[in-house]
Structure 1
Amino acid sequence: MRSWFASEDWFAVWLGVAIVLIALPTAAGLDLLGWVAAPRIWLGPGDAVRPVSAHYAGLPGFVSLLFTYLLLLGLIGACAAIRKFDLRTFIPSFTVIFWLSAASLILGHYAYIAQTPDKRSATGITWSLGLTGEAGFLVALLSGLFVGNVLPSVAVRLKSAARSEWFIKTAIVLLGAGLGIKAAAASGLVTSIMFRGLAAIIEAYLIYWALVYFIARKYFRFSREWAAPLASGISICGVSAAITTGAAIRARPIVPIMVSSLVVIFSVFELLILPLAAREFLSNEPLVAAAWMGLAVKTDGAAVASGAITDALIRARALESGIAYEAGWILTTTTTVKVFIDLFIGVWAMVLSLVWTYGIERKPGVKVPVRDVLKRFPAFVLGYFALFLAFLGLTLARPAMAPGLAAATAQTEPLRGLFFAMTFFTIGMAADLKRLWAEGIGRLALVYVISLFGFIIWIGLAISWLFFHGAQPPIITGGP
């Protein structure tokens, strides 16, 4: 058990908790972490990075990014020293990985790549790919693939700090704190919306996941290692779900990362198509449309953007009939459904961990001690839940602290993005493209297309209709 607590999983927990504790004084007005570099949607390079807090608005972006590097170098370097890594090779390797990953993340925020359709006019552009800032993860993956497959000698030199699982597990731990605040904020919504959203999500999990897993296994002959993260990535919420599932079943890191990349790419098509379809066919059922965006669009950024576009399109269509819906309810419903989906990531990881331990990988006649289950269980999920429950409980018990706690967790978000970027870069660096193609990466995309457009979108629509049919936002003027 002592070795279990000293594992990479637990060091992800310690690292995530340390970052949250540094940010926490912000809730009391002491802004210790507001200088952390946050990438922004940009056209000019000077606007690409800004401190996350307005208190440090005068700090140049590059200086903010340099301080962010030094913070992570200190925290991760301390953990590396405790784990007895060779710091003479680890520190230079980590430095290169950080700066290449940060550059990829910033490039992915370029307006013509990242800006969503609802915000193009504010940026002064007329078109963009609409990939959201998560495009930075794709750029990081491509950069890593280039280094690993074209510059293999460089990849070997960087190997000592290429700790992809440590990076991603830390990012998942940090996610828990922010979700706790969001869940507490959602508790103030109309009870019927919360209940309907929660019921819809449970239905979607049970139906989506089983169908995708079945299709991947039976018709495309994927191994369980590929099928489970694929099912979670398509049916739940993309990047975080695929990676957490991969950890729960002990899949190779490249598996959930490739799934996550597909999720980001296909979310663009959903973002462009589904709000328009909602306007044409669901203008009389605005909250059905809102829930549909949350259930069907798989990345957080794209889902929220689709909710915002749907909100604007349906309210504009309703005004043509003299009905003025109160702004924000469609977007809020989409966001609430998406938050609930995110919360279930940890629950699903627990379920899969038990299924794999006691079912799929259990040998006949062999008892599995509880200690072995604990060793197998992804401990970073415990850190995720601990921070989620702590921030949820604190916000509900002290509502006056909610704005301060929200500001504190917001300061950890850019760091979570950097951990994701470093994960994608280091996994790309370790990936062999020839081997991936042999394992069926092309078939993986085909499963995604068939699942997404064959039944996920339509089942999501049916579930949204079942639970939200007849629910209406408040009407300001006019009436049906």
Structure 2
Amino acid sequence: MSTVNTYAKKKALQNEDWWAAWLGLLIFTLGLGPFFGMDVLGWVTKASVWIEPAKAFAPVTKGVGISGFASLILTYLFILVLIGVASKFIGANMKKFFIGFTFIFWATVFCIMLGNIAYIGATPDKTANYGIAWSLGLGEMGYIIAMVIGLIIGNFFLKFADYLKEAAKPELFIKIGIVVLGGSIALKSLDAFGLATTVIIRGICAVVEAYLIYWPVVYLISRKFFKFTPEWAAPLASGISICGVSAAIATGSAIRARPVIPIILSAVIIVFVAVELLLLPWLAQALLFKDPMVAGAWMGLAVKSDGGAIAAGAITDSLIRGRALSELGVNWEEGWILMVATTTKVFIDIFIGVWAFILAVIWSVFPIDKNSAVAQTGEKGKVNPAEIWNRFPKFIIGFVLTFVILFLVGVFSPDDVSKLKPGVSEANALRTFFFGMCFFSIGLVTNVRKLWDEGMGRIVAVYGIALFGFILWVGLFISWLFYHGITPPTV
């Protein structure tokens, strides 16, 4: 028995999924410092929209007595140690890892900084704060730039890319970020529960109804008309239906898809998010300026990333309030449209963990494809429970724990919620870098020629047909069904 336990522990120490859970929980725990009167992560650097380069990065906590550049150095060293320890146990070449990680981190910093230039990253309602007349309002652009630069290196500088790949760990980066995200979602949920009960109840109903329609339809289109295997179709359906990159990766892990699959899907998803950000807020202004809460819910249901959905909600909030004031003479209170978009997105994020668990069980018990436990054992309905546990994505445990812990604190001790927010902000600042390094790494390990052979063109086709053919319009109808006639308070 001791030999079995030793083997299990060794496997866990070599498992990237476990390391994502442990490191995410470590960051979350350190972020609880302010709750106990200790600001452990106040030195972490936060990326901000900027006009003056010196203001692009600064410590999350004001008054810690260090410059933005010093906080960047400390953030680099902190993440280097975390990922370095995990990489050592997983079996990386540490010399290559150190050099590769250093390049990836600072390249990501450059991309995030570039994407946060006010002319690119400022939402339309914030342009006046920066003294500018216009902005593209693309808050996620730093991630896209990171992926593009990674793609250039990965496809045109092949020897250099191969050297860097020892540190390019897109799944580890994004999974750590998802674990940390749990605490942020918990606080958003607590804030939302303090607002209109009607909005919350309708938001839950809208999310459940939308995704019980979205997922099976996308899966059917992928399988029947584009002939994708279940290994491809399930992450594709989750990525398009639930929450973009995070859902695609969670689903891929749950069903044991090859790592290349969620990576390919992530590249397609983020491009479509950029397209949605460019189109949907202005379409919402044109169609829904008399139905503002419908517009907010639509952004939450339609835009497939957290930052993208919230940015779209903020833009829509500003555009619709401006038009309503000029054409209807109604001055709606700021933030309610954004709140509906954010609340809808929060419930969608929670749905990721639930759906990943459901798919992990299904893929273990039924002969879905060659990667399923049943296909490997030939014993339908007789899969060992240990197999389900082995297949279950461990980082989801971290995600659930961070969410539940903060949510329960907020429920049973509401007065303490304010003490939690600074630490969650510090952990989220780190999450920005993990997400950015994920997208850079996605580009770095992506060979476009091979991807096209794997079916990139069909993926784009499925995404385009699903998104513009029915997801946008089903989401609009469901938003209208649950929010029609509800308006924000007036100023």
Normalised TM-score (structure 2): 0.90
Asked if 1:147 is matched to 2:153, the reply is yes
2:105 — aligned with what?
98
Structure 1 residue 230: Cα displacement: 2.1
Provide the C-alpha distance between the structure 1 equivalents of 2:148 and 2:331, rounded to a whole number of angstroms.
46
From 13, 22, 29, the counterpart of 1:21: 29
How far apart, CA to CA, are the structure 1 residues paired with 2:148 and 2:315?
A: 30
Bigger Cα displacement from structure 2, 85-94 vs 457-466: 85-94
Q: Report SS of the residue matched to 1:55.
A: coil
Contact (CA 8 Å) 2:269, 2:304: kept in 1 or not? Answer: yes
Residues 298-447 of structure 1 aligned to structure 2 (within 5 Å) = 298-319=304-325, 320-359=327-366, 360=368, 361=372, 362-363=374-375, 364-366=378-380, 367-447=382-462
Whether the 8 Å CA contact 1:254–1:427 is kept in 2: the answer is no
Map residues 188-203 of structure 1 onto 2, 5 A cutoff: 188-203=194-209
| 2:424 maps to amino acid | T
- Alpha-carbon separation, structure 1, partners of 2:120 and 2:261: 25
In structure 2, what is the equivalent of residue 181 of structure 1?
A: 187
Write out per-residue CA displacement over residues 246-288 of structure 1, whole angstroms, 9 at most, x where no aligned residue. Answer: 2222223333233333333333443343333333333332222
Moved more, 253-262 or 186-195: 253-262
**Structure 1 residue ranges without an equivalent (≥5):** none
Q: For the residues of structure 1 that align with 2:411 and 2:55, how far apart are their CA atoms?
A: 37
1:253 touches 1:427 (CA, 8 Å); kept in 2?
Answer: no
Instruction: Give, in angstroms, the shift of residue 127 of structure 1.
Output: 4.1
Q: Is residue 118–residue 305 contact of structure 1 (8 Å, CA) maintained in 2? A: no
Structure 1 range deviating more: 141-150 or 377-386 = 141-150
Instruction: Give 1:406 shift.
Output: 1.3
Residue 264 of structure 2 is aligned with which of 258, 261, 267? 258
Deviation at 1:86, TM superposition (A): 4.5
Call closer, same or farther: CA 1:323–1:242 in 2, change over 3 Å.
Answer: same
CA distance in 1, matches of 2:200, 2:221: 31
CA distance in 1: counterparts of 2:320 and 2:331, whole angstroms:
10
The equivalent of 1:455 in structure 2 is 470
Q: Aligned in 2, Cα 1:301/1:86: closer, same or farther, shift over 3 Å?
A: closer
Deviation, 1:453, is: 1.4
Partner of 1:468: 483
Change in CA separation of 1:275 and 1:80 when aligned onto 2, cut-off 3 Å = closer
SS at match of 1:50: strand
- 252 and 414 in structure 1: CA distance in 2 versus 1, 3 angstrom threshold: farther
**C-alpha separation in 1, matches of 2:336 and 2:149:** 40
Q: 2:18 is matched with which residue?
A: 10
Change (3 A) 1:152 1:317: closer
1:33 matched residue in structure 2? 41
The percentage of aligned residue pairs carrying the same residue is: 48
Query: Can you list the C-alpha shifts for 1:362-415, whole angstroms capped at 9, x where unaligned?
Result: 234352100011001101101110111011111222212212211101101121
CA distance in 2, matches of 1:205, 1:325: 30
Counterpart of 1:182 in 2: which secondary structure?
Answer: helix
Give the AA of the match of 2:189: A
CA deviations over 1:312-363 (Å, ceiling 9, x no partner)? 3333444443444333222211211111111111111111112222221223
Find 1:70's aligned residue among 74, 77, 84: 77
Please say which of residues 63-72 and 101-110 is displaced more in the overlay: 101-110
> Judging changes above 3 Å, is the alpha-carbon distance between structure 1 residues 306 and 425 closer, same or farther for their aligned structure 2 residues?
closer
Match of 2:434, as an amino acid?
A: F
Q: 1:116 to 1:263 in 2, by over 3 A?
A: farther
Say if 1:280 and 1:419 are closer, same or farther in 2 by CA, change over 3 A. closer
Kept after mapping to 1: 8 A contact 2:171/2:249: no
CA–CA distance in structure 2, aligned partners of residues 279 and 254 of structure 1: 38
CA-CA distance at 1:215 after TM superposition: 1.6
For the 8 Å contact 2:264–2:451, the answer to whether it is kept is no
The 4+ residue runs of structure 1 with deviation greater than 4 A are 81-86
- CA gap of 1:280–1:136, structure 2 versus 1, over 3 A, is closer
Q: For the residues of structure 2 that align with 1:49 and 1:404, how far apart are their CA atoms?
A: 24
State the aligned residue count.
474
> Within 5 A, what are the aligned runs for 1:274-313?
274-313=280-319
Structure 2 CA distance for partners of 1:288 and 1:78, relative to 1, 3 Å: same
Equivalent pair of 1:16/1:171 in contact (CA under 8 Å):
yes
Q: Do structure 1's residue 43 and structure 2's residue 59 form an aligned pair?
A: no
2:144 match: secondary structure: helix
Provide the rounded CA distance (Å) in 1 between the counterparts of 2:277 and 2:95: 46
Cα shift at 1:150:
2.1
Distance in 2 separating the partners of 1:344 and 1:191: 20
Q: Structure 1 397/216 Cα, relative in aligned 2: closer, same or farther at 3 Å? A: same
Which piece of structure 1 moves more, 416-425 or 314-323?
A: 314-323
CA positional deviation for 1:18: 1.2
- State the partner residue of 1:52: 60
**Structure 2 residue aligned with 1:167, among 164, 173, 178?**
173
1:98 maps to a residue whose letter is F
Q: Bigger CA drift: 171-180 or 154-163? A: 154-163
1:208 corresponds, among 214, 219, 222, to: 214
**Cα–Cα, structure 1 residues 424 and 277, in superposed 2: closer, same or farther, change >3 Å?**
closer
Shift of 1:203: 0.8
